[in-house]
Chains A and B, each alone.
Chain A
Amino acid sequence: MLEIANLTVRYGGVTSLDSMDLVFEQGTCGLIGPNGAGKTTFFNVLSGFVRPASGTVRAFGTDLLAMPHFRRARWGMRRTFQTEQAIEELTVYDNVAMVSSSLRGAGRRADVLGAIEYVGGGLSPLMRVGTLGAGQRRLVEVARAVAGKPRLILLDEPAAGLPDEETAHLASVIRGIPGHTGALTILVDHDMSLVSAVCETTAVLDFGKLIASGPTAAVLRDEQVMRAYLGIAEVL
């Protein structure tokens, strides 16, 4: 369970997140919103790349903001990036084994290989990532995210730029993550069909403010959400 209270982030005069209060319970949760709504900023706060002006973030009872950023992976946080960041020079195995984990020796090897096996997509541990296509690189990142007993997985537009059949495979992988690892998974994406296919609950950000949250189907029908996305004129 991830509890965010009164979270505010400012870049100079711009308020990127405006006293956001939100609770992610469990399973796969979506976080959507138009460009510039603050989705990636929110992930950057969780990763520790951005220091908030105020607010608290508690994950499974731990005060996340008090933890140095490089420690958060060992605690169980995983993250993929909007622009895919699989390390080209390394093999698939080394890319996944890169992540901090409390496992050692044979148990760790089995865990890494298990993560590669889980994401599928024709990946094999000894392939060099530099030779892979965009979809497979995304899967390498997701494999890194599910390795080593994760507790909180943040996926930042994992399907960006992928063709439909690869997106469908990725959707099935993401939908299975909570069952496979037990981790709370938060998915940021613009692709509404992906979000509605994968997420049980969804929260919507607009201009740094939370405008809706709840079961995905209900949220996507919400009038305010439609207005944020489609720009319906105010009739007040």
Chain B
Amino acid sequence: MAGVGTKGRAEQTVAGQRFGLLRRPERPVHLGVTVALVLFALFGLPPLMSGYYTGYASLVAIYSIVTLGLGLLVGRVGLYSLGQGAVLQIGAWTGARLLFATGQPFPLVIIEAGLVTMLIGTAIGLPAIRLRGLYLALITLMFAGTITVILATVNFPNGGGGFTGYNGQQSRIPPIRRPSIAGTDIAYYRFAVVVAVLMFLLVYAHVRMRPGRAWAAIRQSEPAALAAGINTTFYKLWAWALASFITGIAGGVLAGQARYLYSINFTTQDSIILLAVALMGGVYNMWGAVIAALLMQLLPAFLQNLGLSYAWLTILFGVGVLQVLTTAPAGIADQFPKDMKKLGGRIMKLVRHA
């Protein structure tokens, strides 16, 4: 009978608990480490990097947004997409087209690219209302293939006229412009990091509030979600819309980073690799998105620097996904701190014995 207390006592305790809930520190250590890392990425890292790695570092920032969106779909809602590379291409195409066609400020253009991508991406998400797992993955993979074929035919804009903005002469092609404050590679890297931080905050806010609760419920039990009054169709589409929006923005930033876009550089395989690295990084944790982007963009740069073949990477990713599926379902972002704690414990033991 302990729980069925009198009204007055219940109200007092409720007030106390509410007070505690409002004053709850939001993991201050975690927050401090995050802020320090972002500051380091913005100010500490650029002087240490050669021009070679600056470009790759920008790509890490851009792709961390893409893997964040994919992690949101897979980890929070349970929707497997093999088409995120294509969604990124749509964002890059739209961003490049608008940058050539208009004189709008760069941030406005990438938001527009995000919105256009959101509309198209949500349309791909429509089958997700009825499909899950393998079938949804197959449909998104076919979509990725379709987009690759279409863009191979249409080509990326290069300053030409018409709707496609493609100039087949290939002579004196102007580069895609960058924001006036971020013309150099270092400045553009900082710009990409700032955009990435904003996108992470946007997703964090979603996960912490009502949509996050709804997604967690949908992932575990759709009947329970429906019985609690959650419009599951709406929230699934919302997840697609949010993931597509941020991926479209990443595409816009990618256009400015690459300066010249060629359809040959975008393959359907990228979409598959994206899912592989997202799973390896960890889809239940937002750090996993950063780790995934490091795996996808920085690891090839290292290998290239060492003179090793890119093919090793495909094998490595294959082994990595197997490892995730068998022993560490929450990915490196979850496993690494645990391993470090274990290692720390062992070292402490050794020190004490010595």
Contacts and interface: CB of A to CB of B under 8 A. Distances in A.
Interface of A: 47-49, 69-74, 77-79, 81, 85, 87-90, 93-94, 97-100, 106, 109-110, 113-114, 117-122, 124-126, 139, 144, 169, 172-173, 176, 180
Contacts of B21: 93, 109, 113, 125-126
Interface in B16-34: 17-18, 21, 24
A4 to B, nearest CB: 19
Given A81-B224, A117-B14, A173-B3, A94 B230 contact: no
B227 A73 contact: yes
Contacts of A88: 220
B221 interface: yes
A218 B289 CA distance: 63
A125 B24 CA distance: 12
Given A98-B214, A126-B24, A120 B3 contact: yes
B216 A114 contact: no
A74 B226 CA distance: 11
A121 B3 contact: yes
B13 interface: yes
A57 B23 CA distance: 46
Given A85-B220, A87-B217, A93-B21, A70 B3 contact: no
Contacts of B13: 117
A49 B223 contact: yes
A70 B1 CA distance: 33
Contacts of B4: 118, 120, 172-173, 176, 180
B314 interface: no
Interface in B183-230: 213-214, 216-217, 219-221, 223-230
Contacts of B5: 117, 120
Interface of B: 1-5, 10-11, 13-14, 17-18, 21, 24, 213-214, 216-217, 219-221, 223-232
Given A70-B226, A73-B229, 12 more contacts: A47-B227, A73-B230, A85-B221, A85-B223, A90-B217, A98-B230, A100-B230, A113-B14, A113-B17, A117-B13, A118-B3, A172-B3
A99 B228 contact: yes
Contacts of B232: 70
A139 B2 CA distance: 13
Given A114-B14, A117-B5, A173-B4, A89 B220 contact: yes
Nearest to B214: A98
A103 B39 CA distance: 40
Contacts, number: 105
15 contacts: A70-B232, A74-B229, A85-B221, A90-B217, A94-B216, A100-B228, A110-B14, A113-B17, A114-B10, A117-B10, A118-B10, A120-B4, A122-B2, A169-B2, A180-B4
Nearest to A176: B4
Contacts of A97: 213
A119 B3 contact: yes
Nearest to A139: B3
A97 B219 CA distance: 17
A87 B216 contact: yes
A88 B219 CA distance: 10
B224 A90 contact: no
B224 A69 contact: no
The residue in B2, B11, B13, B223 that gathers the most chain A C-beta atoms within 10 A of its C-beta is: B223
A15 B230 CA distance: 30
Contacts of B11: 114
A48 B227 CA distance: 9
Nearest to A121: B3
B343 to A, nearest CB: 25
Nearest to A76: B229
Contacts of B214: 98
B239 to A, nearest CB: 15
In the A-B complex, the 3 residue pairs with the smallest Cβ-Cβ separation, listed nearest first, are A120-B3, A73-B229, A100-B229
B82 to A, nearest CB: 24
Contacts of B213: 87, 90, 94, 97-98
